[in-house]
């Protein structure tokens, strides 16, 4: 039995710079790995089958599960005779913009690489990850922060020592990623990225993180999906505005939502705000950079 942690992510910065020829959007995003984790257990099966076990009602235990798809890709691609039972203990809210499913898939890829003794390096695993989902490659890298470009799946590790504290609120609202991106008004042309452009302030955000300037970090958060998210659910905009009334340094929606995170200076401030928010919301977490 192999037991692995499967962490969530936040998008501290997400800029849409255009629409690709393949139908996906061209992105610049800064990922932060956080210590809100699922647990993945991998148990070898001699009969060659792939099985999923999970008690969460919204997680499929069949081939629709993204972790199943990860295992199947490796098994078929490399003609692996062995099977595996994948047990997922969910702590990361499902379909919340936190990358829980993508993290599960990446964790299974890494775990099976060891369990099945495949000896694949990270670039080889990334080739499989890109076939599963745009967020999956990030979780293959052992890094707290990384820059994602192209579909968000081209990963560049960013070496930063900054440890951030967040209050994370996950409203019980379903936000389908396809629907959110469908609301985005972006040019239907290929866009070449230049991370040195003055108007591309992801570098400014990284600079503030490097200097551990928490107030400036919060002021540099960006998510170009927010107008589309508010179009689908205006109440999320109201929630974000209410969070601004607390003693926070910045607030944003992660990915395609509906999770909203607020940056605080200390853990004690985050815990104080969480205590107040739990009177109105069931899913409130205090999380830190992982």
pLDDT tens for 88-113 read 999 999 999 999 999 999 999 999 99
Q: Residue 179 — pLDDT band, cuts 50, 70, 90?
A: confident
- Among 157, 173, 197, the domain-final residue is 157
Q: How far is CA 70 from CA 113, 131, 196, in A?
A: 11, 9, 35
CA-CA distance, 118 to 21, in Å (whole number)? 34
Q: Which of 25, 47, 46 is nearest to 188 (CA)?
A: 25
Task: Point out the least confidently predicted range of 118-132, 134-148, 197-211, 231-245.
Answer: 197-211
Residues 6 or more apart whose CB falls under 8 angstroms from that of 112 comprise 42, 70, 71, 74, 84, 118
| Pair (6, 97) in one structural domain | yes
- Among 157, 186, 209, the domain-final residue is 157
CATH of the domain at 23: 3.30.230.10
pLDDT of residue 200: 57
Q: Which one is catalytic: 19, 110, 135, 240?
A: 135
Query: How many residues in the chain?
Result: 290
For range 8-24, the mean pLDDT? 92
Give residue 140's domain range.
2-157
pLDDT tens for 25-54 read 899 999 999 999 999 999 999 999 999 999
| Pair (76, 110) in one structural domain | yes
* Residues β-bridged to residue 85: 43, 51
pLDDT tens for 202-216 read 999 999 999 999 999
**DSSP string spanning 70-124?**
HHHHHHHHTT---EEEEEEE--SPTTSSS-HHHHHHHHHHHHHHHHTT----HHH
HSE (side-chain half, CA atoms, 13 Å) at 209: 26
| Pair (32, 137) in one structural domain | yes
Q: Residue 182 — pLDDT band, cuts 50, 70, 90?
A: confident
| Pair (66, 142) in one structural domain | yes
Based on DSSP, count helices (H) and strands (E) in the chain, helices before strands: 9, 11
Q: Which of 287, 275, 277, 239 is nearest to 91 (CA)?
A: 287
| Pair (116, 215) in one structural domain | no
Give yes or no for residue 193 having a pLDDT over 50: no
For range 196-206, the mean pLDDT? 74
| Pair (130, 180) in one structural domain | no
Q: How far is CA 144 from CA 3, 121, 149, 157, 276, in A?
A: 21, 19, 17, 8, 29
pLDDT of residue 78: 97
Other C-beta atoms within 10 Å of 265: how many?
15
Q: How many domains does the chain have?
A: 2
Is residue 198 among the annotated active site residues? Answer: no
Other C-beta atoms within 10 Å of 156: how many?
12
| Pair (273, 182) in one structural domain | yes
| Pair (27, 93) in one structural domain | yes
CATH of the domain at 235: 3.30.70.890
CA-CA distance, 206 to 188, in Å (whole number)? 29
Is residue 135 among the annotated active site residues? Answer: yes
pTM for the whole structure: 0.93
Tokens 């829980």, residue located: 100
pLDDT of residue 177: 82
Q: Which one is catalytic: 9, 19, 110, 274?
A: 9
| Pair (66, 125) in one structural domain | yes
């Amino acid at each position: 039995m192999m037991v692995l942690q499967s962490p969530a992510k936040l998008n501290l910065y997400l800029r849409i710079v255009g629409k690709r020829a393949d139908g996906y959007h061209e992105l610049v995003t800064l990922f932060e790995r956080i210590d809100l984790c699922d647990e993945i257990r991998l148990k070898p099966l001699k009969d060659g089958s792939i099985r999923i076990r999970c008690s969460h009602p919204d997680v499929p235990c069949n081939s629709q599960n993204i972790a199943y798809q990860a295992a199947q890709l490796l098994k078929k691609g490399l003609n692996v005779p062995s099977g595996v039972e994948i047990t997922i203990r969910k702590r990361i809210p499902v379909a919340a913009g936190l990358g829980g499913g993508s993290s599960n898939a990446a964790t299974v890829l890494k775990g099976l690489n060891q369990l099945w003794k495949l000896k694949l390096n990270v670039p080889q695993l990334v080739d499989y990850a890109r076939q599963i989902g745009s967020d999956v490659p990030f979780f293959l890298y052992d890094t707290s922060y990384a820059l994602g470009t192209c579909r968000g799946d081209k990963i560049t590790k960013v070496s930063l020592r900054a440890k951030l504290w967040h209050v994370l609120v996950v409203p019980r609202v379903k936000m389908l990623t396809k629907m959110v991106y469908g609301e985005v008004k972006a040019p239907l042309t290929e866009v070449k990225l230049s991370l040195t452009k003055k108007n591309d302030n992801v570098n400014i955000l990284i600079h503030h993180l490097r200097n551990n300037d928490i107030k400036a970090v919060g002021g540099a958060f960006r998510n170009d999906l927010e107008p589309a998210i508010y179009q689908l659910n205006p109440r999320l905009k109201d929630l974000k505005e209410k969070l601004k009334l607390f003693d926070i340094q910045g607030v944003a929606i992660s990915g395609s939502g509906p999770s909203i995170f607020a940056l605080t200076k200390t853990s004690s401030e985050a815990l104080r705000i969480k205590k107040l928010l739990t009177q109105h919301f069931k899913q409130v977490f205090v999380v830190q950079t992982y």
